[in-house]
Structure 1
Amino acid sequence: MTALVSASALGASRQARVWLSTNSHQYTLAPMAPATLGEPHALPIAVEIDAGSPQQAMVGFGASITDASADLIQQLPAHARAALLDELFGRDGDGIGLSFARLTIGASDFSRRHYTLDDTPDNAPDPTLAHFSIAPNLADVVPVTRAALAINPQLKVMASPWSAPAWMKSNRSLIQGTLDPAAYDAFARYLLRYVDAMDGQGIPIWALTVQNEPDFEPSSYPGMRLNAPARARFIGQHLGPLLAARGAASPMLFDWDHNWSKPEEPLAVLADPDARRYVDAVAWHCYEGSPDAQSPVHAAYPDKDVYMTECSGGDWEPLRSGGLVLQARRLIIDSVRHDARGVLFWNLALDPQGGPHAGGCGTCRGVVTIDPASGQVTRTDDYTALAHASRFVPPGAHRVASSAAMDGVDNVAFVNPDGGRVLVVANSAPVPRTFSVRDGNQGFRYTLPGRSLATFTWTPSPP
């Protein structure tokens, strides 16, 4: 295998720099000896890059600052907390440059208790939102997000509710149920009250969804079914007009925020002309279906962008056997090849027991694991998968056309704003694969170990 060298020795011209990770953890974001750029010669496995065919501009890669994540990060000593946030959101030194984040509007399963931001005694109606307060977020989510924005002012923050307040729902409970049509106006104002409250804390909300996983009613944590006809009515007649009235200061609106397995849901919302005019993008989750569901929806409505907004790592199949390479291939490579402008993993941080959480997933993992007893921080496979893209692909980079997968070798290619090239390649095969790369009049060849992931960067030669 190619010998390891120091990062400082990797800057020579006419070379492609290489960083390697393996499922076995023998290598993790390890700088390797560079590949020599020369005349391109195609091998049976060939990656052909067409830098003259730019696709979507990238917003970035990141994870959700859930209540659990923020709580754990805030528990770290100040110096350790600052170092971790610099590493996650910064681009200097070893920073991995996360530039996309998601917040929960009220509790998710990864909260210590179930709540919304307008809970009332005995679920009494509160149409004026007199009880609205972001106080539950002031000790953790707000300071952590504000610190991340101070490190990376380009950070784009989206937000999603798990449930409307119980007094707005058909069953008057945070668990299950749907939004009472009589409360559509109040819920629209509730979402915008959140936007204003966070803006007052120095956190601009860049995008909203109207409901996390609207085709699912979890039995152990806040949730709310909101099918396509209901979302279309809510968006077209209530939330959308309020957003439009705000003009350029309005956050964007994403529909769906659920799995690849039901593209008919966002298609139905976009088929409604009243709703469609207010929807900017479709958001997807990874737990059912496959990334290729994204492209037909985008093709039907090419003015609506694509985002992958939730996917958790964890201890279940196929993640257990597929490991790092499976996560990277589905989310960093395939989701982006199918038009995603941004990719979000789920919890930014969890503890060694996969918590704290109140219901929901007991086998999820965070991008980092924080042991609150010792303060030890461990970087997971999700961190590695994200870093293979986020560290090298800044906001404003464009994905460019490149060859389809061959013999278990998948790839995605980018041109950065400075013209530099980035290529992420995954080898899912259990054995090494040798492949060629051609970018215009130059190229290189490389052998990736079995079940491994690599990022290549280089500067193109003049035409």
Structure 2
Amino acid sequence: MDEKYWAPHVWGHLRFGEFTGNGYDSSVDSFEAVYANYFVKYIEAYAQYGIPIYVITVQNEPSNAAHWPAMIWTLKEQASFVSQHLRRALDASYPETKIYINDDSLHALDRPIDSSISDEQAMKIDGLAIHTYQVPHENLFNGVRSYSHWQLGMTERRCMMNEKVEDASRIMFGTIGNWLVRNGLNFVTLWNLALDERGLPNAADSIGRRGVVTIDHHTGKVQRNLEYFMLRNFGQDVSLGATVIHSSDYTENGIEGGIGSAAFLGINGDITIQLYNPNAHARAASVGLAGNGNCWQTVTMPAWGTVTCHKSNRDINVSNVPADDSFKLNPTPTNNFE
């Protein structure tokens, strides 16, 4: 295409305070009200298939000027939209659906969140959604130390096909499974559940991204990535309803130093401890319970790996992981959808 036909992308906002032309009732006819009803239609559509929606966010990565349909939202704008329109729209039909704001990397939390959101607005918001692509991770505390009723959800992260084992381990086991869990993380979702050996499909014009599992698009063969094992650690080892309890931790940021840990107390008295080794060599660890005297277990931590210890009043899930299939990855710029 001739250069004169190209124009820069323009990323805008919702047309706040304007009307759709159908009237002047801000609770019905404003663009914000119409957009809030769009969320209701989305939830209704899934409900027809028997799929309940637990939580929604105002927008994925609202600071990202993406080239797909997207808008820029500040935290202040998100809070205003939720408190004045979205919460009211959901309360009329799906009051159980929760609303989280941010849904962005931690660079967006560059100041205490109560400087952008009032106490009244915060009462209509259920939680904070974060990604962990950008640092500083300590910005998390700008978002989680203002409103105690909020939950914290990790709503997106992924690794690359060419990521070294130690780098992927530090992301999944260190940052997410150790540091974020110890600092209040309530749930984890990852981008993406399954991609093929080329990193497709995606709409990001990028190559080499990987999912929780990789599926060969010709044969259907499956390879399980480190992301799979991070999720498996929690899904298999930690009982439903468990809460995080204090445990010793020797890796302040989750990716350097000594052995890290995250400990959980189950509703029936189970204790589960996940240990993480952020180092290139195996390390021995002795695990004990406060008030119970001698060492409970002695384990050897593999390089970049995890070990789970249990003190359980129930049967422990010891199911094995199926063997991976063998096929080559192809994260190259020549990929297409054929």
TM-score by structure 1 length? 0.57
Contact 2:272 2:310 in 1 (8 A): yes
**Secondary structure, aligned partner of 2:176:** helix
Change (3 A) 1:315 1:375: closer
Q: 1:368 to 1:263 in 2, by over 3 A?
A: same
Return closer, same or farther for 1:261/1:358 CA change in 2, 3 Å cut-off: closer
Larger helix proportion, structure 1 or 2?
1
1:19-168 matched pairs, under 5 angstroms: none
Q: Which of 169, 187, 191 is residue 346 of structure 1 equivalent to?
A: 191
Q: Are 2:111 and 2:142, in contact at CA under 8 Å, matched by a contact in 1?
A: no
1:244 aligns with 2:91: yes
Aligned counterpart in structure 2 of residue 409 of structure 1, from 259, 266, 284: 259
**Residue 180 (str. 1) matches residue 180 (str. 2):** no
1:231–1:269 contact (8 Å) kept in structure 2? no
Superposition RMSD in Å: 2.5
- In structure 1, the partner of 2:298 is 445
1:417 aligned partner, one-letter code: I
Query: What stretches of structure 1 of length at least 5 have no aligned partner?
Result: 1-172
Q: Which amino acid aligns with 1:261?
A: H
Note if contact 2:107-2:134 (Cα within 8 Å) is conserved in structure 1. Answer: yes
More displaced 10-residue stretch of structure 1: 255-264 or 200-209: 255-264
- 2:112 matches 1:262: no
- The answer as to whether partners of 2:76 and 2:117 remain within 8 angstroms in 1 is no
Match of 1:311 among 135, 142, 157: 157
Structure 2: gaps (5+ residues): 1-8, 19-30, 252-256, 314-338
In structure 2, what is the equivalent of residue 191 of structure 1? 39
Change (3 A) 1:436 1:290: farther
**Which among 236, 242, 249 is matched to residue 391 of structure 1?**
236
Secondary structure of the residue that 1:309 maps to in structure 2? strand
Contact 2:56 2:99 (C-alpha < 8 Å) held by counterparts? yes
* Greater relative contact order, per chain length (Cα 8 Å cut-off, separation 6+): 1
The equivalent of 2:49 in structure 1 is 201
Show the counterpart of 1:278: 124
Aligned to 2:177: 332
Query: Which whole-Å CA distance do the structure 2 matches of 1:375 and 1:450 have between them?
Result: 31
TM-fit CA distance, 1:291: 4.3
Offset, 1:268: 5.0
TM-superposed deviation, 1:379: 0.6
* Mean CA deviation greater in 321-330 or 366-375: 321-330
Distance in 1 between the 2:112 and 2:53 partners? 22
* Secondary structure of 1:214 counterpart: coil
| Alpha-carbon offset, residue 320 of structure 1 | 5.9
Match of 1:370 in 2: 215
Distance in 2 of aligned mates of 1:437 and 1:300: 34
Question: Identity over aligned residues, as a percent?
Answer: 27
CA contact (8 A) 1:325 1:427 kept: no
Equivalent of 1:425 in 270, 275, 280: 275
Maintained 8 Å contact 2:75/2:116: no
Q: Distance in 1 between matches of 2:77 and 2:162?
A: 33
Q: For 1:228, give the aligned amino acid.
A: L
Aligned AA for 1:392? D
Instruction: Quote the offset at 1:290 in angstroms.
Output: 4.7
1:386 deviates by: 1.4
Write the distance in 2 (CA, Å) between the matches of 1:394 and 1:262: 33
In 2, the alpha carbon distance for the partners of 1:222 and 1:381 equals 31
Pair 321,400 (structure 1): closer, same or farther in 2 beyond 3 Å: closer
- Asked if structure 2 preserves the Cα contact closer than 8 Å seen for 1:209 and 1:256, the reply is yes
Cα distance in 2 for partners of 1:368, 1:179 equals 36
Q: Is the 8 A contact 1:284 1:307 kept in 2?
A: yes
What is the identity, as a one-letter code, of the residue corresponding to 2:42? Y
Contact 2:100–2:129 (8 Å) recurs in 1 = yes
1:216 equivalent to 2:64? Answer yes
Give the CA deviation at 1:393. 1.4
**Structure 1 CA distance for aligned equivalents of residues 262 and 167 of structure 2:** 19
**Cα pair 1:316 1:363 within 8 Å, conserved:** yes
Which amino acid in the other structure matches residue 444 of structure 1?
Q
Amino acid at match of 1:191: F
Which has the higher mean CA deviation after the structures are superposed, 401-410 or 189-198?
Answer: 401-410
Do the aligned partners of residues 421 and 291 (structure 1) sit closer, same or farther apart at CA in structure 2, a change above 3 Å counting? Answer: farther
CA separation of 1:354/1:176 partners in 2, compared to 1, >3 Å: closer, same or farther?
farther
Shift of 1:259: 0.7
Partners of 1:332 and 1:343 within 8 A in 2: no
Q: Would the aligned equivalents of 1:368 and 1:380 in 2 still touch at CA under 8 Å?
A: yes
DSSP 3-state at the match of 1:223:
coil
Structure number with higher strand proportion: 1
After superposition, the Cα gap between the structure-2 partners of 1:252 and 1:196, relative to the gap in structure 1 and judged at 3 Å, is: same
Q: How far does residue 275 in structure 1 lie from its aligned partner after superposition?
A: 2.5
Q: 1:282 to 1:314 in 2, by over 3 A?
A: same
Q: Is the partner of 1:396 in helix, strand or coil?
A: coil
Give the deviation of 1:258 after TM superposition.
0.5
Quote how far apart the aligned CAs of 1:402 are. 0.8
Q: Is the 8 A contact 2:165 2:304 kept in 1?
A: no
